[in-house]
Amino acid sequence: MPAVSDPEIARLCARYSELIDAGDFARAGALFHQGTLTIADTPITATGSTAVQQVFERFIRIYSDDGTPHTKHVTTNLVVDADGASAAAGRSYFTVFQRTDDLPLQAIMVGGYEDRYQIGESGWGFAHRRIRIDHVGDVSRHLLRSLHG
């Protein structure tokens, strides 16, 4: 079993953002093979690839011009702490930017990720990702429905 690798975990976190921004919710969900996604202070919890994919599809608007949500997720301040050779914990900040035909480029959401990572047959994946939303801007063109039910 390989040792915890900060660059590999950083790559996992970056891949998550890239896939969400590409509107590729199936591959983003696959990063949670047996893992759980939760959004703090909401009833949203999903476990496993398909359930996580369905959360993304239920809440994130996809635009027909390019099949994406017109967003860029920027993740910073990643700190990873090893928990043996096959598990780790991490935390980071995120900012989501969006631009649409009628919305100028702007930050629409900022917060943090609190993660547990595990290594499996295909490499590192999320055992748990808790999304903490600290500030929200105009998400009317990003979210299909309220996160609060």
The per-residue pLDDT for range 93-139, each reduced to its tens digit, is 999 999 999 999 999 999 999 999 999 888 999 999 999 999 999 99
Give the residue, 140 or 6, on which the prediction is more confident: 140
Secondary structure of 13-78 in HEC code, one letter for each residue: HHHHHHHHHCCCHHHHHHCCCCCEEEECCCCCEEECHHHHHHHHHHHECCCCCCCCCCEEEEEEEE
The model carries a pTM of 0.94
pLDDT cut 90: percent of the chain above it: 88
Query: If you average pLDDT over every residue of the chain, what do you get?
Result: 95
CB of 20 closer than 8 Å to CB of 60:
yes
- Mean pLDDT computed over 30-52: 97
In CATH terms, the fold of domain 6-136 is Nuclear Transport Factor 2; Chain: A, (3.10.450)
Could you give the percent of the chain with pLDDT greater than 70? 97
Query: What does the pLDDT read at residue 67?
Result: 98
- pLDDT for the residue numbered 1: 40
At which residue do the structure tokens 């920027």 appear? 74
The answer, yes or no, to whether residue 71 has pLDDT greater than 90, is yes
In the chain the first and final C-alpha atoms are separated, in Å, by: 41
The pLDDT of 53-78, averaged and rounded, is 98
Q: What is the DSSP letter of 141?
A: T
> Is the CB of residue 98 less than 8 Å from the CB of residue 69?
yes
The pLDDT value recorded for residue 36 is: 99
